[in-house]
Amino acid sequence: MFTILLTGCDSANIKRQLQENHDKLNPNGDRGICLYLGDLKNYPYTTKYMEKNEYNERMFYGNDRFKKRLAGFSEIGMFTREKVAEEYGEDIYRYDLTDLGTKYLKSNNFCFGRVTVTGVNKLDVVTDSIGRTTKMVRFQFEIENVPVWVTTNLPIIAQLYGEGVQRILTKNEGSSLMRFIKVESGWSMQEGVIIQYGYY
């Protein structure tokens, strides 16, 4: 890996490229920021009891995190929630998308807004394990079109994704790391800003 010192011209070119790629991936301005929900893409969904043991620790924590996110987003109004059973002392719930949830669910994320790139800090060029040249760009951004369900439920979102995410959404600005992979036609940006576990 090596770090490239950015001149004003370099920074402006990368900033322009980042913005063009963000807008290409998000032409309607409604999926600049995505809060990762879980692997499930079809609803209604009924939660599952899972007992932790030495063989399923990763699955157990994934299931637990998913149930907490379902419960949190039901408080926000993205899901209906109905208790349907009890297993080993744990309540089992059935969740279904509301109209609000349906509007903002994109694949397995709740997405919103448009990212506006405001600056570029750092550019690292690396070669990955299969020989691809990759640019890692650290940049600042602002968020436009943040919906009311986000701004009025920041404490719940912070519980689910961390206080760092809350600070970003409170100020409507933050920084992120973007990966570009070298392809025949140029550089391909891999994804927008997706929040999984609150790490930025």
Mind listing the pLDDT tens digit for each residue in 58-69? 889 889 999 999
The stretch 127-132 carries a mean pLDDT of 75
pLDDT of residue 93: 97
* Domain ranges across the chain: 2-36+108-195, 45-101
CB 181 within 8 A of CB 190: yes
The stretch 109-114 carries a mean pLDDT of 92
- What residues have CB less than 8 Å from 153, skipping those under 6 apart? 75, 76
CB 116 within 8 A of CB 88: no
Q: How many residues does the chain have?
A: 200
CB neighbours (10 Å) of residue 2? 7
Structure tokens at 10: 């370099």
Is residue 189 pLDDT above 60, yes or no?
no
pTM of the model: 0.78
- CA-CA distance, 45 to 94, in Å (whole number)? 6
The stretch 13-19 carries a mean pLDDT of 84
DSSP three-state, residue 1: coil
Structure tokens at 66: 């998913």
Confidence band, pLDDT 50/70/90 cuts, at residue 194? very low
CB neighbours (10 Å) of residue 21? 19
